[in-house]
């Protein structure tokens, strides 16, 4: 005779099964986010003077896909304590991309460059950050917005008398057309900045060679922490351009992209 399965027994067992699965998955779900915990551990290591351990902790957070201006800033500070100018400049520059208006960050970057004898120009703002940190794209943007606003204001004021005639005047057309042109140039300039690929030299006195080979003649050397443009990668080598327009090839491992 087939045993009878009571409904109460079935629901009881189903409840135990669901509860067991829930308990089995609970430890993973209850674990706090690892990135903030690692960040705090790295901060504690830095406070205790364990700068190598702090760098490893910050890099672990970055490797986990968590990046922030504060993280890059603290990483740069740890690199400075270790005397590693190139990685410090790289970390500070990465932080500036996310928070270009931070005066303390700018001061730290200027200090590191000054100590290493590097130019203070460094890495220009890129993309939307151009409009937050100043420069010619920002001036063109506001100049274009002002010209466009004046043109629209004049045209609106004259529209009551002659709607089409107001837009045909040279003043309105010049202001509106010039404003739109300046806005287009400023946005285009920011796009060009955003498309530029740059890097920081993290090696000490890296030779800049005429060809992508260790046997090629070296015309000059890169100081650690120098910011340069990347023109073309080729295998383990990268063609770069320095601030003085000098171009050449350096090993990929000697650079860290911004």
Read off the pLDDT of residues 115-165 as tens digits, 9 standing for 90 and up: 988 887 644 444 444 444 445 566 666 676 776 677 676 666 655 555 555
pTM for the model stands at: 0.62
The topology under which CATH files domain 198-257 is: SH3 type barrels. (2.30.30)
Under a CB-based contact definition with an 8 Å cutoff, are residues 70 and 42 in contact?
A: no
Q: How far apart are CA 68 and CA 202, in angstroms?
A: 21
Q: What is the pLDDT of residue 157?
A: 62
The CATH label, of 1.20.950.20, 1.10.443.10, 2.60.120.200, 1.25.40.10, for the domain at 34-119 is 1.25.40.10
Instruction: Indicate the domain borders of the chain.
Output: 34-119, 130-195, 198-257
- Radius of gyration for the alpha carbons in the chain, expressed in angstroms and rounded: 29
Going by the DSSP 8-state scheme, the letter that residue 127 receives in this structure is G
Under a CB-based contact definition with an 8 Å cutoff, are residues 58 and 39 in contact?
A: yes
Q: What is the pLDDT of residue 76?
A: 96
């Amino acid at each position: 005779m087939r045993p009878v399965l009571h409904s109460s027994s079935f629901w009881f067992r189903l409840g135990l099964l669901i509860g067991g699965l829930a308990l089995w998955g609970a430890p993973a779900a209850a674990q706090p986010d690892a990135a903030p915990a690692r960040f705090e551990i790295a901060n504690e290591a830095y406070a205790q003077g364990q700068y190598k351990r702090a760098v490893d902790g910050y890099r672990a957070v970055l490797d986990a896909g968590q990046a922030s201006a504060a993280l890059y800033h603290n990483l740069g500070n740890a690199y400075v304590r270790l005397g590693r100018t190139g990685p410090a400049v790289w970390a500070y520059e990465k932080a500036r991309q996310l928070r270009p208006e931070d005066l303390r960050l700018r001061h730290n970057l200027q200090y590191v460059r000054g100590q290493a004898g590097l130019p203070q120009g460094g890495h220009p703002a890129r993309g939307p950050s151009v409009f937050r940190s100043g420069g010619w794209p920002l001036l063109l943007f506001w100049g274009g917005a002002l010209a466009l606003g004046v043109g629209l204001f004049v045209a609106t004021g004259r529209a009551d008398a002659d709607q089409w005639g107001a837009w045909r005047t040279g003043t309105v057309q010049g202001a509106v057309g010039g404003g739109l042109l300046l806005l287009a140039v400023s946005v285009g300039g920011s796009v060009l900045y955003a498309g530029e690929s740059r890097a920081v030299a993290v090696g000490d006195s890296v030779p800049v060679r005429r060809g992508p080979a260790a046997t090629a003649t070296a015309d000059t050397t890169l100081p650690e922490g120098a910011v340069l443009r990347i023109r073309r990668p080729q295998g383990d080598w990268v063609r770069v351009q320095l601030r003085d327009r000098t171009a050449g090839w350096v090993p990929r491992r000697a650079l860290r992209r911004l």
